[in-house]
Structure 1
Amino acid sequence: MRGDQALPYRLRLLAYSGLTDADRARIEALLDQRQRSIAPRRDVVSEGEAPRFVHFVLEGWGCRYRQMSDGRRQMLSLLLPGDLFDPHVQVVSQMDHAVGAITAMTVAEVVPDTFSALVEGHPGIARALWWNDHVALGMHREWIASLGLRSARERIALLFCEVYFRLRLVGRCSGLTCEFPLTQADLAEATGLTPVHVNRMVQELRRERLIEWAGRTLTILDLDRLCEVASFTPGYLHLDRTVAAAG
């Protein structure tokens, strides 16, 4: 597993190898038309709300989540800088889950009809969107497999590996170091564990000299071993279809 830095694309979608420079410029042109800032721990889109925009995450971290009536919450996926989410909102009457900010976020909001016209008029962008959707579904499947099959230690290790590879694709890593602003309570919601159990597993990975995690920064000390612990292979991220994979 390499630890080099990827090409500095602002969006994961832009790293798709089938895009032309003109396609990338068209996508980039959407990002500055309308932007919104969201405070930490506030919803970007609430459950039950009618979604109005296609969203691009420019800065900050968020998540999809479901919350039960008694306050229990399950994180369904992480949304990282460079991610695109809800590109097909025109077929959804209301959200069946919420999208919330973990840190302060800046998102670009694109009117669905504008985005659809761009996709329909440019086959390369359409294929990039299919790839983006397939990656999102792959991550969803891997999280389900983690909850059903992986041990607590393996679940935590997988999350560290996945975040690192996702951030590396958009040039957000320096060597084997990346931002990691989650709390242990966030990790618990993502992995179906208690915060106490998460703490034990994180301390174990630290003792084994696999990671350093201090404040908002994660450093992977031995990427190959961490991937082995997590039974992680990046195939479900489909990085072979990206320009960065050839860099």
Structure 2
Amino acid sequence: MIRKLEQYDHLSGAERQLLEDAFVRQRAVAKGEHMVREGDRPTESTVLISGFAARYNVLRNGKRQITALHVPGDFVDLHSFLVKTMDHAVMAVTPCTIGMVPHETLRRISENHPHVARLLAVNIAVDAAIHRQWIVAMGRRSALEHAAHLLCELFVRLQVVGLTMDNSFRLPLTQEELGDTLGLSTVHVNRVVQDLRKDGLITWRGETVVIEDWSRLRQLAEFDPTFLSLEAEPR
């Protein structure tokens, strides 16, 4: 989390220590277990330390739409400090480790440490920017372009927290979960992934995605990482 925040602006040693001390405990979360449930009123916010998690909503007919994918370093519900009642759920896609930051601690940070509070606000703003990109992709990009944009986004986000190796990264999503993310059937997802492979853009074996041609994949997706606010500047 600290490494991610330092992409936005410099943190002093004291500010780093403040953030480290904000965690009251860690715990393991099993695959499929909820970190947050719709309707919850959390008194703590959750940071994903390891593993992958998904934010989602379920319709009356049982169909699920994944509205965010969380990677290590992400606050999965920093906004719960502000909005209180959760209108979605967050579930572990893999076995995860999470850290808990009490809302009372966040309140003290917001009142007494404005620079850290601003960086946490940037974190919320970037979450919103990712959502906007997902809306654009869902509404206006082809399935192939949408999938390409998602892979570009995840690669860059994982690169920031040191979880890529050369041009490869771990993506432990089933085709059903990928379908719920892209709004596609599993059959359509399989076809899209095969097309990306045939075009020489990626290889995908098990849980490992290798980007074979970053330039062409980025061009296909029209991917511009500006929305991730990765250029450090005074906040």
- After TM superposition, the score normalised by the length of structure 1 is 0.89
Q: Which residue of 1 aligns with 2:194?
A: 203
TM-score, L = length of structure 2: 0.94
1:173-211 deviation digits (Å, cap 9, x = unpaired): 111111111111111111111111110010111111111
Deviation at 1:131, TM superposition (A): 1.3
Equivalent runs, 1:1-247 vs 2, <5 Å: 11-31=3-23, 33-241=24-232
Distance 1:205 1:10 in 2: 34
Q: 1:155 to 1:111 in 2, by over 3 A?
A: same
State the SS of the aligned residue for 1:85. Answer: coil
Equivalenced residue count is: 234
The whole-number CA distance in structure 2 between the counterparts of 1:88 and 1:153 is 31
Indicate if the aligned counterparts of 2:7 and 2:230 stay in contact, CA closer than 8 A. no
Structure 2 unaligned runs (5+)?
A: none
Amino acid corresponding to residue 179 of structure 2 in structure 1: A
AA partner of residue 142 (structure 2): S
Q: Percent identity, aligned pairs only?
A: 39
- After superposition, give the CA deviation of every residue in 1:125-145 in whole Å (9 maximum; x if it has no partner): 112112111111100000000
Distance 1:88 1:230, change over 3 A: closer
Greater alpha carbon shift after TM alignment, 121-130 vs 132-141: 121-130
Q: Which runs of 5+ in 1 are unaligned?
A: 1-8
User: Letter of the aligned partner of 1:84 in structure 2?
Assistant: F
Say if 1:67 and 1:73, in contact at 8 Å, map to a contact too. Answer: yes
Cα distance in 2 for partners of 1:90, 1:81 equals 20
* Contact 2:76 2:90 (8 Å CA) reproduced: no
Shift of 1:10: 5.7
1:18–1:128 Cα contact (<8 Å) kept: no
Distance in 2 separating the partners of 1:93 and 1:30: 19
**Contact 1:60–1:106 (Cα < 8 Å) also in 2:** yes
Deviation digits for residues 91-143 of structure 1 (CA, Å, limit 9, x no counterpart): 43421111111111111011101122123222221121121111111000000
Residue-by-residue CA offset, 1:147-189 (whole Å, 9 max, x unaligned): 1100000111111000000000111111111111111111111
Q: Are the equivalent residues in 2 in contact too, given 1:11–1:83 (CA < 8 A)?
A: no
